[in-house]
């Protein structure tokens, strides 16, 4: 038995670019709360190495780096280095403004083949990330959908709070609707903090009487401002071992997100509470043991119970918001293709069978939303 397992591991090491099914001793198929979730059990050698590196290097840095204006400025300077990375030769971009908010649009150099527009909201905890750091994922979405992808440069810390970020993205969305030839085919997408903003756009569009997004694409979305709290009506069945998001820092980060003096967030502070305002078909991605996964499944349950179309994908051995790592991980390409197909289907443009990961399974464990007094 020992030699068999050792031989299998050696075979894996010799094939770093392949995707293989690897189940650790004592661990069976991934358990889920939302029973309709698509579970991706297999993972690549690259994904495993990246997860280990994040846990050993990046997580300690995030845990101990002071969250002051000086450190935030340093993070911004590092982010700007991403602008030096080569751009896709197949995608053309142009910068302009939507409602006074800076944006960058990306479209295939031979022109758009879709009437869809994707408004992309980058992640980064509201203090890092930019159009430059997330240009690669936007270029990928433009190529996979044939749509025009517009990335929003919304205000972040320390210049503004979450409330200011929310106002920027809903302003850009409203301006896009006014300018678009097909306002009914505007899709909103985002990762992490951008996933939070994606849900806020859907909520506020409903509150303001605007055209609802044609679809929502959320990669490891932040769905509450207190994901570290466990005294909420959210069922947890997997121990949180997030590869690089330190749970201990959330309380300190929250003080910067919501300063005592400043504007209040329009609508609900946590999108998880605003599920009743969300009517758009929703695509969700989360990682098996990341900190944000429990609330992603809770949101899936809330939307499903209201009859909203929701497609949820759970992945093993990935890092938070891994779809952003286009060209690095094969799983990133797969997740983006699944998201692209979902968006195209939502706007009625998918003219072929959607992509399906052959190594997935459905779980039979069914979760439920606990009442507030049972939390």
Domain that holds residue 113: 29-374
Query: Per-residue pLDDT averaged across 343-371, rounded?
Result: 73
Task: Spell out the residues 6+ positions from residue 78 whose beta carbon is closer than 8 angstroms to its own.
Answer: none
Q: What is the pLDDT of residue 281?
A: 98
The verdict on residue 24 lying in a domain is no
The verdict on residue 23 lying in a domain is no
Number of domains in the chain: 1
Lowest mean pLDDT among 175-184, 199-208, 259-268, 361-370: 361-370
The verdict on residue 158 lying in a domain is yes
Lowest mean pLDDT among 162-166, 187-191, 246-250: 246-250
Q: Distance of alpha carbon 263 from its chain centroid, rounded?
A: 26
Q: What is the pLDDT of residue 211?
A: 98
Lowest mean pLDDT among 60-69, 137-146, 320-329, 361-370: 361-370
Q: Using the structure block, give the residue that is written with the tokens 């302003």.
A: 171
The verdict on residue 11 lying in a domain is no
- Which helix (DSSP H) or strand (DSSP E) does residue 372 occupy? none
- The CATH number of the domain holding residue 223 is 3.40.50.1820
Q: What is the pLDDT of residue 362?
A: 56
Strand 91-98 versus strand 101-108 pairing type: antiparallel
Question: Is the pTM of the predicted complex or chain greater than 0.85?
Answer: yes
Q: Give the integer Cα–Cα distance in Å for 173 and 278.
A: 15
Q: What is the pLDDT of residue 370?
A: 52
The verdict on residue 305 lying in a domain is yes
Q: What is the pLDDT of residues 275-284, one digit of tens each?
A: 999 999 999 9
Query: Per-residue pLDDT averaged across 223-232, rounded?
Result: 81
The set of catalytic residues is: 192
The verdict on residue 78 lying in a domain is yes
Q: Is it the case that residue 296 has pLDDT exceeding 50?
A: yes
Q: What is the pLDDT of residue 168?
A: 98
For the ranges 63-77, 177-191, 238-252, the maximum mean pLDDT occurs at 177-191
């Amino acid at each position: 038995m020992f030699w068999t397992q050792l031989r299998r591991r050696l075979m894996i090491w010799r094939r770093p670019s392949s995707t293989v099914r690897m189940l650790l001793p004592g661990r069976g198929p991934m358990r889920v709360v939302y029973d309709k979730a698509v579970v991706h059990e297999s993972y690549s050698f690259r994904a495993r190495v990246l997860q280990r590196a994040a846990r050993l290097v990046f997580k300690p840095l995030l845990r101990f780096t002071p969250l002051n204006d000086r450190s935030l400025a340093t993070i911004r300077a590092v982010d700007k280095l991403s602008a030096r990375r080569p751009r896709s030769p197949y995608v053309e971009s142009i910068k302009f403004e939507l409602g006074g908010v800076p944006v960058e649009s990306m479209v295939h150099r031979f022109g758009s083949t879709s009437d869809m527009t994707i408004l992309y909201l980058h992640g980064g905890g509201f203090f890092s990330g930019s159009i430059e750091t997330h240009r690669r994922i936007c270029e990928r979405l433009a190529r996979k959908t044939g749509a025009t992808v517009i990335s929003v440069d919304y205000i972040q810390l320390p210049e503004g709070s979450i409330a200011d970020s929310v106002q920027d993205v809903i302003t850009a969305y409203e301006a896009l609707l006014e300018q678009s030839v097909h306002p009914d085919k505007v899709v909103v997408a985002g990762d992490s903090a951008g996933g939070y903003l994606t849900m806020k756009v859907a909520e506020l569009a409903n509150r303001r009487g605007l055209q609802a997004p044609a679809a929502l694409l959320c990669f490891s979305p932040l769905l509450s401002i207190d994901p570290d709290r466990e005294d909420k009506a959210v069922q947890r069945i997997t121990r949180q071992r997030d590869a690089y998001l330190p749970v201990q820092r959330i309380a300190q980060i929250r003080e910067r997100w919501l300063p005592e003096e400043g504007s209040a967030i329009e609508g609900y502070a946590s999108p998880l509470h605003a599920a009743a305002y969300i009517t758009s078909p929703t695509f969700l991605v989360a990682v098996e043991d990341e900190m944000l996964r429990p609330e992603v499944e809770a949101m899936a349950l809330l939307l499903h119970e209201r009859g909203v179309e929701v497609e949820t994908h759970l992945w093993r051995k990935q890092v938070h918001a891994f779809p952003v790592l286009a060209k690095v991980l094969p799983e990133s390409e797969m997740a983006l293709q699944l998201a692209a197909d979902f968006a195209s289907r939502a706007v009625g443009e998918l003219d072929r069978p959607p992509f399906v990961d052959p190594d997935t399974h459905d779980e039979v464990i069914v979760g439920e939303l606990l009442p507030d007094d049972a939390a």
